[in-house]
Amino acid sequence: MTMVCLSDFEEYAKQHLSKATWDYYEAGADDCCTRDDNLQAYKRIRLRPRILRDVSLNDTRTSVLGTEISFPVGIAPTAFHCLAWHEGEQATARATEAVNTCYIASTYSTCSVEEIAAAAPNGYRWFQLYLYRDRKLSEQIVRRVEALGYKALVLTVDVPYTGKRRNDIRNQFKLPPHLMVKNFEGMFQEQTSTQEEYGIPANTLDPSISWKDVCWLQSLSRLPIIIKGILTKEDAELAVEHGVQGIIVSNHGGRQLDGVPATIDCLPEIVDAVQGRVEVYMDGGIRTGNDVLKAVALGAKCVFIGRPAVWGLAYKGEEGVREILQILHDEFRLSMALSGCRNVAEINRNLIQFSRL
| Known binding residues | 24, 77-79, 106, 128, 130, 156, 165, 228, 250, 252, 255, 283-287, 306-307
Indicate whether 255 belongs to the interface with ligand HOC (CB under 6 A): yes
DSSP code, position 345: G
Single out the residue of 200, 225, 260, 280 in contact with ligand HOC (rule: CB under 6 A).
200
Indicate whether 108 belongs to the interface with ligand HOC (CB under 6 A): yes
CA atoms within 13 Å, Cβ hemisphere of 237? 6
Q: Distance (Å, rounded) from C-alpha 25 to C-alpha 168?
A: 10
Interacting residues of 162 by C-beta distance below 8 A, sequence separation 6+: 197, 256
Please give the annotated binding residues for FMN, written as ranges. Answer: 77-79, 106, 128, 130, 156, 228, 250, 283-287, 306-307
Instruction: Between 159 and 238, name the residue whose CB sits nearer to ligand HOC.
Output: 159
Amino acid identity, position 181: V
Single out the residue of 63, 162, 167, 326 in contact with ligand HOC (rule: CB under 6 A).
162
Q: Specify the stretch interacting with ligand HOC by CB under 6 A; choose among 10-18, 47-55, 66-74, 195-203.
A: 195-203
Instruction: Between 274 and 282, name the residue whose CB sits nearer to ligand HOC.
Output: 282
Q: Distance (Å, rounded) from C-alpha 233 to C-alpha 333?
A: 31
Single out the residue of 197, 213, 235, 269 in contact with ligand HOC (rule: CB under 6 A).
197
Please spell the DSSP secondary structure of 28-72, one letter per residue: -STT-HHHHHHHHHHHH--B----SS--TT-B--EEETTEEESSS
Q: Distance (Å, rounded) from C-alpha 354 to C-alpha 62?
A: 25
Single out the residue of 5, 65, 148, 159 in contact with ligand HOC (rule: CB under 6 A).
159
Interface positions with ligand HOC (CB under 6 A): 79, 108, 159, 162, 197-198, 200, 252, 255
